[in-house]
Amino acid sequence: MLSLPSEVTTLIDSGRFSIRYAVRFDLDGGAQGVWNDAYAITDDGVTYAPLAGNMSVDVVPGSGTLNSDKVIVTVSGLDPTVAGYVAGTDWHQRPCVLFLCFLDTDGTVLHMMPRFSGFLDAAELSDRSGQAATLRLTLESNNRGLNRRQGRTRSDADQRQIGGSDDGFFKNTATAVTTSETIYWGRKGPQSA
Partner 1 sequence: MSLSFPRAFPSVSSPRSGWFDSASFQPVFTQSQALTGGGSPNAAELAPQRWSAEYSTTMLNEAELETWDAWLASLGGGLRTFKGVPSLRAYPRAYPTGFSGLTYSGSPFSGSGNLSAIATPRDEVTINQLPTGFVLNIGDFFSIPVGSRQQIHKLTTGGTASGGSVTVGVTPTIRPGVSTGIAVLLASPWCDMVLEGTPQVRTTNVRTGSISFKGMQVLV
Footprint on this chain of partner 1 (rule: CB under 8 A): 15-20, 36-40, 50-53, 77, 103, 105-108, 130-132
Q: b/e for 144-153, b at 16 or more Cβ within 10 A?
A: beeeeeeeee
Q: In the bound complex, what is the minimum distance in angstroms from residue 53's beta carbon to partner 1? A: 3
- Is the CB of 53 or the CB of 163 nearer to partner 1? 53
- Is the CB of 104 or the CB of 156 nearer to partner 1? 104
- Is the CB of 49 or the CB of 122 nearer to partner 1? 49
- Is the CB of 105 or the CB of 161 nearer to partner 1? 105
Check: CB of residue 60 under 8 Å from CB of residue 98. yes
Which phi and psi (to 5°) does residue 71 adopt?
-125, 135
- C-alpha closest to that of 73 among 30, 33, 129, 31: 33
Which phi and psi (to 5°) does residue 157 adopt?
-65, -40
- Is the CB of 57 or the CB of 97 nearer to partner 1? 57
Q: Give the whole-angstrom CA distance, residue 39 versus residue 50.
A: 5
- C-alpha closest to that of 116 among 136, 144, 93, 141: 141
Q: In the bound complex, what is the minimum distance in angstroms from residue 49's beta carbon to partner 1? A: 8
Residues 74/43/49/110 CA torsion (nearest 10 deg): 70
